[in-house]
Amino acid sequence: MHSPQREWAFLGSSHGFSLLLKRNCSISPQGMILVFALLALATLGIATGFALAGAWLVLPFAGLEVAALVLAFLLTARHAADYERVELMPGRLCVEVAEGRALRRHELNSGALRVRHAPERARVLLTCAKSGEIEIGRHLDVEARVVLADKLKKTLSL
Amino acid sequence: MSAVVDSHGHGHEHHDHHGGYSGIMRWITTTNHKDIGTLYLWFSFIMFMTGGAMAMVIRLELFSPGLQWVDPDFFNQMTTMHGLIMVFGAIMPAFVGFANWLIPMQIGAPDMAFARMNNWSFWILPFAASLLVISFFMPGGAPGVGWTLYAPLTVQMGIGMDLTIFAVHLLGMSSIMGSINIITTILNLRAPGMTLMRMPLFCWTWLITAYLLVAAMPVLAGAVTMTLTDRHFGTTFFNAAGGGDPVLYQHIFWFFGHPEVYIIALPAFGVISQVIPAFSRKPLFGYASMVYATSAIAILSFIVWAHHMYTVGMPVTGQLFFMYATTLIAVPTGVKVFNWVATMWKGALSFETPMLFAIGFLFLFTLGGFTGLVLSLAAVDIQLHDTYYVVAHFHYVMAIGAVFAGFAGVYFWLPKWTGRMYDEALGKWHFWLSTIFINITFFVQHFSGLAGMPRRIPDYPLMFETWNKISSIGAFGFGLSQLLFLYIVLKAIRSGEKAKDKQWEGADSLEWTHLPTPVPYHSFETQPVLK
């Protein structure tokens, strides 16, 4: 087995870079809706059949189960499409954070920017006088956040 | 632009491994899929031994004609609880244990999608199992109605029946939570590059099983709730005197019950589909056809339920429909058996214990499937219904099929789970003793069944004595052989030789190719990218 390898898609340092950080969701929210809808349809269809045959008490249990499915779907899909885009362009760093339905976009002066680690779980914070502190790297594990912060510091100092 | 490529990502040894708890609290509060998998597997083994002890009582009583050891009521309680405990307490949790351990590792996910719910799904089980066991100590004892819990007998039972109904509800809740978790995990947490058609077949079989569980469980919940309201709230769903229909219960139960057979069998197919290619040193033959065959079996399982009910009376067209639909299941099952054999064909075979159990499964499950075909024929089934032929058939499929696949899986993944190798010689002893004794137990039951011996009776005519004696001896032997299994597992954990990262050279799923042995507590926190 080969050793762990971490590769970052930073483009040439003098021309800036674009980094998209997002969760790994192997199915789209739309795909998940389709899957869960088919399940709910099958469950409710079967229960309706039994209700028509006189066994109506199957229906409430099917309803409860579908409610559980919907809850599971909502929990999964709520933040499935969250992302952070960090783009370095000449003189400025653009950070776009999508969280649930909210989309925030920050344009920071790359010359007056500081990258630092918060002690708690190595959170990566971008500090600048105008926008205050912006956290990035929430979709990464601790180890990857450390790498991200180091890379950012190096790239920004060039 | 991609953010991270990390092939291993298991550098988290500095984390607190057990959420700050140790001892028993670690196991109660754990949300780690490996811990929960281990809990499921030990729980299922305890239940396997409990249900097995009940089987010993049954076989002891049946050793000779006449009533020797237990009264008929208690005998009926034993057969009922043996079935319920083995199906819901032993076999199903065992495969959920495998799912917990393996699915995240095989798809490159850090854990199950809903880790806390995973903890709850497990911890419901001991309470449900306790209710089943406590029912023996209630006035009137445990229900003696058979694991199918047929009305109207269920209406006449004591308070033990209510405990059993509650237990079935809890077991169903646990299964549904587990299924939602498995579906979400497999669909949403696969590593980049791990497309559905690249997943190990074990994950496929569990994905389809989870669908079956979600579709079938509310039906069972409804059935036992209607039994409860008939018992205590004056409804007459299943009481003909009040306008109800006891046969309706049978339809509802078997609409759940037949998919349940595949809920047990499909994960077993998944295990076998991992083991046979590994010891044949070849990829699984006909992967896509295996996926489609599994799906076909799952769909067909919903339209064959009334083959359990030929004798309750149904129109000839109904009999024909269920007969043809049932025989149709032989086609996708045959595809699977063919593919397993074709995988071995011209492979570089070796016969370590997991492979022996897999081959044992292949022979014996096929034999059980074949007697299933015999029973699917309405004209034959009417003769054999409720005889020991049926007992032999479903034990070959469910007991031998599922249990042998379970053993194959434990021997196959134990080195990866524990980092220790089991004693191969003892493993082979376990296989041969189990195979010989289980066939002594159940093969002869075909003969007593064909001769007309009914099931669920503590006494029988003298003409059935020889087959019953042989069957009982086989059962005692099989029961004792399982103590050897326990010893082998404990010995491996305590003092087994250190296992290699890739203990089986033919194994090719992510847990063998991308993770060290034993697997770290946290694995794939950063998902691997598969080319």
User: What per-residue confidence (pLDDT) applies to B4?
Assistant: 37
Across chain B, mean pLDDT equals 93
Span of A141-150, B93-102, B303-312 with lowest mean pLDDT: A141-150
Residue A121 lies in a domain: yes
Mean per-residue pLDDT, B422-444:
97
Tell me the chain B residues in contact with residue A16 when contact means C-beta distances shorter than 8 Å: none
Q: Are residues A99 and A142 in the same domain?
A: yes
Identify the H or E element spanning B310: none
- Interface touch A144/B222, C-beta < 8 Å: no
Residue B43 contacts A where some CB pair is shorter than 8 Å: no
Q: Are residues A148 and A91 in the same domain?
A: yes
> Of residues B151 and A91, which shows the higher confidence score?
B151
Residue A21 lies in a domain: no
CB neighbour burial string for A104-143, b if at least 16 within 10 angstroms, e if fewer: eebebebeebebebeeeebbbbbebeeeeebebbbbbbeb
B80, B164, B273, B441: the active-site residue: B273
Q: How far apart are CA B385 and CA A124, in angstroms?
A: 69
User: What per-residue confidence (pLDDT) applies to A154?
Assistant: 82
| pLDDT band with cut points at 50, 70 and 90 for residue A3 | very low
- Cβ atoms of residues B188 and A27 within 8 Å: yes
Instruction: Considering only the beta carbons, identify the residue of B2, B113, B514 that sits closest to A9.
Output: B2
Closest to B304 measured CA to CA, from B275, B324, B277, B334: B324
- Cβ atoms of residues A38 and A99 within 8 Å: no
Q: Are residues A152 and A87 in the same domain?
A: yes
User: What per-residue confidence (pLDDT) applies to B285?
Assistant: 97
Q: How far apart are CA B490 and CA B498, in angstroms?
A: 14
What is the residue-wise DSSP string for B245-277? -HHHHHHHHHHHHHHHHHHHHHHHHHHHHHHHH
Q: How far apart are CA B61 and CA B45, in angstroms?
A: 24
Interface of A with B in 37-66 (CB under 8 A): 39, 42-43, 46-47, 50, 53-55, 57-62, 64-65
Span of A45-54, A108-117, B37-46, B308-317 with lowest mean pLDDT: A108-117
How many contacts does A have with B, using Cβ atoms within 8 A?
145
Q: Would you call A101 exposed, middle or buried from its count of C-beta atoms within 10 A (0-12, 13-18, 19+)?
A: exposed
Q: Are residues A150 and A96 in the same domain?
A: yes
Residue A14 lies in a domain: no
Q: What is the pLDDT of residues B472-508, one digit of tens each?
A: 999 999 999 999 999 999 999 999 999 999 999 999 9
- Interface touch A39/B214, C-beta < 8 Å: yes
Instruction: Considering only the beta carbons, identify the residue of A18, A39, A139 that sits closest to B1.
Output: A18
Residue A17 lies in a domain: no
Residue B194 contacts A where some CB pair is shorter than 8 Å: yes
Which residue in A has a C-alpha nearest to residue B175's C-alpha? Answer: A65
B386 is catalytic: no
B308 is catalytic: yes
| pLDDT band with cut points at 50, 70 and 90 for residue A48 | very high
Q: Are residues A74 and A111 in the same domain?
A: no
Q: Are residues A96 and A144 in the same domain?
A: yes
SS3 state at B239: coil
Q: What is the pTM of this model?
A: 0.91
Confidence check: pLDDT of A4 > 50: no
- Interface touch A141/B9, C-beta < 8 Å: yes
> Of residues A157 and B377, which shows the higher confidence score?
B377
User: What per-residue confidence (pLDDT) applies to A14?
Assistant: 53
Q: Please tell me the distance in Å from B267's CA to the nearest CA on chain A.
A: 20
Q: Are residues A131 and A118 in the same domain?
A: yes
What is the residue-wise DSSP string for A7-41? ------GGG-EEEEEE---SS-HHHHHHHHHHHHH
- Angle (CA) B31-B36-B39 rounded to 5° is 140
Q: Are residues A141 and A114 in the same domain?
A: yes
The dihedral sign for the CA sequence B342, B346, B348, B353: positive
The dihedral sign for the CA sequence B242, B247, B250, B255: negative
Tell me the chain A residues in contact with residue B255 when contact means C-beta distances shorter than 8 Å: 46, 50
Residue A5 lies in a domain: no
Residue B248 contacts A where some CB pair is shorter than 8 Å: yes
Residues 6 or more apart in contact with residue B460 via CB below 8 angstroms: B62, B65, B453, B468
B16 is catalytic: no
Query: Strand A124-128 and strand A132-136: pairing?
Result: antiparallel
Q: Are residues A87 and A149 in the same domain?
A: yes
Structure tokens at A71: 């809850």
Q: How far apart are CA B116 and CA B234, in angstroms?
A: 39
Q: Are residues A58 and A116 in the same domain?
A: no
The alpha carbons of chain B give a radius of gyration, in whole angstroms, of 23
Residue B114 contacts A where some CB pair is shorter than 8 Å: yes
Residues 6 or more apart in contact with residue A45 via CB below 8 angstroms: none
Residue A146 lies in a domain: yes
- Interface touch B11/A59, C-beta < 8 Å: no
* Structural domain boundaries, residue A59: 29-78
Q: Are residues A91 and A130 in the same domain?
A: yes
Question: What 8-state DSSP symbol labels residue B138?
Answer: S
Residue A64 lies in a domain: yes
User: What per-residue confidence (pLDDT) applies to A135?
Assistant: 87
Interface of A with B in 68-127 (CB under 8 A): 68-69, 72, 75-76, 80
B111 is catalytic: yes
User: What per-residue confidence (pLDDT) applies to A101?
Assistant: 84
CB count, 10 Å around CB of B44?
23
